[in-house]
């Protein structure tokens, strides 16, 4: 048994185990299993050979085809049941295209499974961060009012998701990739619709049809690649592809844009907020959306010239636009959601640039974005469960009520923008690699501007929220709530991962040692000073309000995007995608 096959199969088996049994047994087994998974994915990077290949037998292929047909017909059935015409049309389209693809499918000659370095890193992200989120979900789902089976089913579904994700990052066959792509769509459909109320069902269907567009794009890419290059393998396709005929790459890139919820496909990820918070956490950090940059990384060697520039420009534009939209939001999870979209777009554009430095930056972003976002979503869950807070405008003065949660939120946001955290290093290297490209092609100047504007808007956004936590509010009277260990321990683990990230970047010398140590000391100094220097003897005074004495309730600045602006943002990104397709066709 190779490590990757354990990583793929064992969560599947465990998902079945979890379905039965009471909460305590389930929790204990889950924690042990998650530790095992993480250890294995860590060991995979450290001990086993980096690259391994496997050719699956014919039986497996037939099984996959069968599974695929079942999934597609399930989508069709869901579409018919809920009378959603788009789902029906897209499902039918996929069934037809898939039929054509399997009849044309060439002889299978290369390895179906190809585990390389990027896959190993993805295992790490998926299993460690995903595992931590599942541990968190154990407690979270217990506080919801569902039947025992449904609660267990939720955990089982998350494990199934992990298995699918582990598989998708190991496959080399685009047909299998398509199946797994559809399976993640299925997972997200079920998890988003988990609450089974009106909004959930609506948003689940939205997620379904948007992701189906991605499925169609993959099928088109598959068809073109079979017709033109007679192959269904990533590695062969990338090796033999003609620079002047990049159509399959472009369609795969569009599938990535859909999975990455890039504007104009952003609505499904935002709609996913209605599901229980662990679902958002796992969708945003470890699984699902991470397929997008992963796919881009896989395609990176084949991208060149026009495609590379266009994808980079679209990506950086979406980065800027999504942060701008996030700035106009007030719902905590929505802010996190749009910043995920932004960072994913950035990762994709970095992968499209394709220089070694850009690839490194992209991988760094994938890893540490997962950790930071997971940390933040866990806090969002705690805020909802323990404090019944959803909106940023309500959270002011939280520092007086729960120092721990505030600390986690601040670290989460700081790690997405400030030195010396991983995401910062990723962004830093992004600017460096774009400026190197700028010497080759002047059009990258727009990418640079979008990136610079986007990162400063992002800072504005994050510190608007953080400032709100500090801002004192006389009205807020929260009860003292003991936060469950199931909530705090996963957060601490993620925190440790963040600092391990700093250690890695220290060791790999992404930045010089002084560049890492100085901000680290400065940032670590703050909590130390906060807890030691209380100024007990200092003279306290009220704030200066022109001699007025009434306590004031202060709001934060409000940024408003007009309908026209949001529409034109979507329009620009759609035009960008069209230019990409048409440009390649010409």
Partner 1 sequence: MFDLKKYRKKSPWILHYNAGSCNGCDIEILACLSPKYDLERFGVINTGNPKQSDIFLVTGPVTFRTRERLVELYTQMPEPKVVIAVGSCACTGCVFRDMYNVEVGIDRYIPVDVYVPGCASSPELIIDGVVKGLEILEQKTKEMEKPFKLFKEATTDDGIVNRRHSALKVGEDDAKD
Partner 2 sequence: MIEILLILFAPILGGLVYGFERVVRARMQNRQGPPLLQPFYDMYKLIDKQSFIVNPYHSILGVMHFLTLWAVVAFVILGGNLLYIVFLHLLSVIFIILAGFSVNSIYSHIGSNRELLATLAYEPVLVMLSVGFFMLNGSFDISVIREHTSSIFPLFLLFLAFLLVIPIKLKKSPFDASEAHQEIVGGVEIEFSGVFFEFIYMAKWLEYVFIYLLLLLFAGNNIILGAGLAVAVFFLVNLVDNSTARVKMVHLVKIVLGIGVTLGMLNLLGLGYV
Q: Which residues bind partner 1 (CB under 8 A)?
A: 539-542, 544, 546-549
Spell out, one character per residue from 448 to 487, where the chain touches partner 2: x when CB under 8 A holds, - when not. Answer: xx--xx-xxx-xx--xx-xxx-xxxxx-------------
> Judged by CB under 8 A, does residue 46 bind partner 2?
no
> Judged by CB under 8 A, does residue 530 bind partner 2?
yes
**How long, in residues, is the chain?**
586
> Judged by CB under 8 A, does residue 419 bind partner 2?
yes
**Residue 547 binds which one of partner 1, partner 2, none, with CB within 5 to 8 A depending on kind?**
partner 1
Site for partner 2 in 99-138 (CB under 8 A): none
> Judged by CB under 8 A, does residue 525 bind partner 2?
yes
The nearer residue to partner 2, 23 or 523, going by C-beta atoms, is 523
Listed residue (379, 399, 403) closest to 494, CA to CA: 379
**Residue 526 binds which one of partner 1, partner 2, none, with CB within 5 to 8 A depending on kind?**
partner 2
Long-range pairs of 81-86 with CB within 8 A, sequence gap ≥ 24: 82/201, 82/205, 84/205, 84/209, 86/209
The nearer residue to partner 1, 61 or 401, going by C-beta atoms, is 401
Distance in angstroms (rounded) separating the CA atoms of residues 267 and 571: 14
Minimum Å distance from CB 557 to partner 2? 5
Distance in angstroms (rounded) separating the CA atoms of residues 46 and 3: 12
Alpha helices (H) along 300-443: 305-327, 332-353, 356-382, 403-417, 422-440
**Residue 209 binds which one of partner 2, partner 1, none, with CB within 5 to 8 A depending on kind?**
none
Q: Which residue has the tokens 């934060």?
A: 556
Question: CA torsion, points 236, 242, 246, 252, in degrees to nearest 10?
Answer: 0
Minimum Å distance from CB 535 to partner 1? 10
End-to-end Cα, the chain, rounded Å: 48
Minimum Å distance from CB 520 to partner 2? 11
The full DSSP string for 136-181 is HHHHHHHTS---HHHHHHHHHHHHHHHHHHHHHTTB-BHHHHHHHH
Binding residues with partner 2: total (CB under 8 A): 61
Site for partner 2 in 542-561 (CB under 8 A): 542-545, 551-552, 554, 556-557
The nearer residue to partner 1, 388 or 540, going by C-beta atoms, is 540
The nearer residue to partner 2, 227 or 522, going by C-beta atoms, is 522
Minimum Å distance from CB 476 to partner 1? 14
**Residue 390 binds which one of partner 2, partner 1, none, with CB within 5 to 8 A depending on kind?**
none
Identify whether the C-beta of residue 559 lies closer than 8 Å to the C-beta of residue 327: yes
Minimum Å distance from CB 419 to partner 2? 6
Distance in angstroms (rounded) separating the CA atoms of residues 410 and 413: 5
Minimum Å distance from CB 549 to partner 1? 5
Burial (0-12, 13-18, 19+ Cβ within 10 Å), 90? buried
For the record, the structure tokens of 237 come out as: 């396709």
**Residue 452 binds which one of partner 2, partner 1, none, with CB within 5 to 8 A depending on kind?**
partner 2
Contact window for partner 2 (CB under 8 A) among 155-163, 170-178, 284-292, 506-514:
506-514
Dihedral pair phi/psi, residue 537, rounded to 5°: -95, -5
Minimum Å distance from CB 113 to partner 2? 40
For the record, the structure tokens of 501 come out as: 């990230």
Minimum Å distance from CB 400 to partner 1? 10
For the record, the structure tokens of 407 come out as: 């600390």
Q: Which helix (H) or strand (E) holds 119?
A: helix 117-124
**Residue 533 binds which one of partner 2, partner 1, none, with CB within 5 to 8 A depending on kind?**
partner 2
Minimum Å distance from CB 265 to partner 2? 27
The nearer residue to partner 1, 541 or 586, going by C-beta atoms, is 541
**Residue 449: C-alpha distances to residues 77, 461, 479 (Å):** 46, 18, 46
**Residue 454: C-alpha distances to residues 437, 468, 564 (Å):** 19, 21, 20
Q: At what angle do helices 332-353 and 247-259 cross, to 10 degrees?
A: 160
For residue 116, the tally of other CB atoms under 10 A from its CB is 18
> Judged by CB under 8 A, does residue 524 bind partner 2?
no
Distance in angstroms (rounded) separating the CA atoms of residues 75 and 162: 21
**Residue 549 binds which one of partner 2, partner 1, none, with CB within 5 to 8 A depending on kind?**
partner 1
**Residue 419 binds which one of partner 2, partner 1, none, with CB within 5 to 8 A depending on kind?**
partner 2
Distance in angstroms (rounded) separating the CA atoms of residues 9 and 20: 19
The nearer residue to partner 2, 240 or 518, going by C-beta atoms, is 518
Given candidates 81, 541, 585, 586, which one binds partner 2 under the rule CB under 8 A?
A: 541
The nearer residue to partner 2, 116 or 437, going by C-beta atoms, is 437
Name the 3-class secondary structure at 38.
helix
For residue 44, the tally of other CB atoms under 10 A from its CB is 24
> Judged by CB under 8 A, does residue 9 bind partner 2?
no
> Judged by CB under 8 A, does residue 32 bind partner 2?
no
**Residue 449 binds which one of partner 2, partner 1, none, with CB within 5 to 8 A depending on kind?**
partner 2
Residues that bind partner 2 (CB under 8 A): 399, 418-419, 424, 428, 431-432, 435, 438-439, 441-442, 444-446, 448-449, 452-453, 455-457, 459-460, 463-464, 466-468, 470-474, 511-512, 514-515, 518-519, 522, 525-526, 529-530, 533-535, 538-545, 551-552, 554, 556-557
């Amino acid at each position: 048994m190779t490590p990757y096959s354990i990583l793929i199969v064992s969560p599947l088996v465990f998902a079945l185990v979890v379905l039965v049994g009471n909460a305590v047994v389930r929790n204990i087994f889950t924690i042990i299993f998650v530790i095992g998974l993480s250890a294995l994915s860590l060991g995979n990077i450290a001990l086993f050979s980096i690259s391994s290949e496997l050719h699956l037998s014919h039986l497996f292929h037939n099984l996959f085809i069968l599974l695929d047909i079942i999934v597609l017909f399930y989508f069709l059935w869901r579409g018919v049941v809920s009378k959603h015409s788009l789902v029906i049309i897209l499902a039918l389209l996929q069934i037809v295209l898939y039929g054509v693809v399997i009849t044309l499918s060439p002889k299978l000659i290369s390895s179906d499974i190809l585990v390389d370095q990027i896959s190993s890193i993805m295992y790490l992200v998926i299993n460690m961060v995903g595992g931590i989120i599942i541990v968190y979900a154990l407690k979270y789902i217990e506080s919801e009012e569902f039947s025992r089976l449904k609660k267990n089913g939720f955990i089982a579904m998350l494990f199934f998701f992990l298995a699918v994700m582990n598989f998708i990052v190991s496959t080399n066959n685009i047909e299998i990739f398509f199946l797994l792509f559809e399976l993640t769509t299925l997972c997200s459909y079920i998890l988003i619709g988990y609450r089974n109320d009106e909004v959930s069902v609506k948003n689940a269907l939205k997620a379904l049809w948007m992701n189906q567009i991605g499925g169609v794009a993959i099928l088109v890419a598959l068809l073109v690649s079979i017709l033109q290059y007679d192959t269904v393998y990533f590695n062969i396709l990338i090796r033999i592809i003609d620079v002047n005929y990049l159509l399959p790459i472009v369609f795969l890139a569009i599938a990535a844009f859909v999975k990455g919820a890039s504007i104009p496909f952003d609505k499904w990820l935002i709609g996913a907020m209605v599901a229980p918070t662990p679902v958002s956490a796992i969708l945003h950090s470890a699984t699902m959306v991470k397929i997008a940059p992963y796919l881009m990384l896989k395609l990176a060697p084949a991208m060149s010239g026009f495609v590379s520039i266009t994808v980079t420009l679209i990506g950086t534009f979406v980065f800027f636009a999504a942060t701008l939209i996030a700035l106009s939001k007030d719902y905590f999870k929505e802010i996190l959601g749009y910043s995920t979209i932004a960072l994913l777009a950035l990762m994709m554009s970095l992968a499209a640039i394709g220089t070694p430095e850009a690839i490194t930056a992209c991988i760094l972003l994938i890893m540490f974005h997962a950790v930071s976002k997971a940390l933040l979503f866990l806090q969002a869950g705690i805020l909802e469960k323990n404090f019944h807070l959803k909106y940023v405008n309500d959270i002011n003065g939280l520092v007086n009520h729960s120092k721990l949660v505030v600390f986690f939120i601040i670290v989460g946001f700081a790690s997405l923008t400030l030195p010396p955290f991983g995401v910062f290093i990723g962004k830093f290297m992004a600017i460096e690699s774009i400026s190197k490209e700028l010497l080759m092609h002047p059009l990258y100047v727009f990418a640079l501007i979008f990136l610079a504007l986007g990162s400063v808007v992002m800072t504005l956004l994050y510190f608007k929220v953080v400032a709100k936590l500090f801002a004192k509010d006389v009205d807020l009277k929260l009860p003292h709530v003991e936060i469950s260990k199931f909530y705090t321990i996963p957060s601490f683990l993620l925190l440790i991962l963040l600092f391990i990230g700093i250690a890695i970047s220290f060791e790999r010398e992404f930045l010089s040692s002084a560049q890492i140590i100085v901000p680290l000391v400065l940032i670590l100094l703050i909590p130390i000073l906060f807890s030691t220097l209380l100024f007990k003897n200092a003279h306290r005074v009220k704030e200066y309000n022109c001699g007025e004495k009434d306590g004031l309730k202060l709001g934060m600045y409000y940024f408003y995007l007009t309908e026209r602006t949001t529409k034109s943002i979507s329009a620009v990104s759609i035009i960008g995608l069209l230019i990409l397709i048409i440009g390649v066709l010409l």
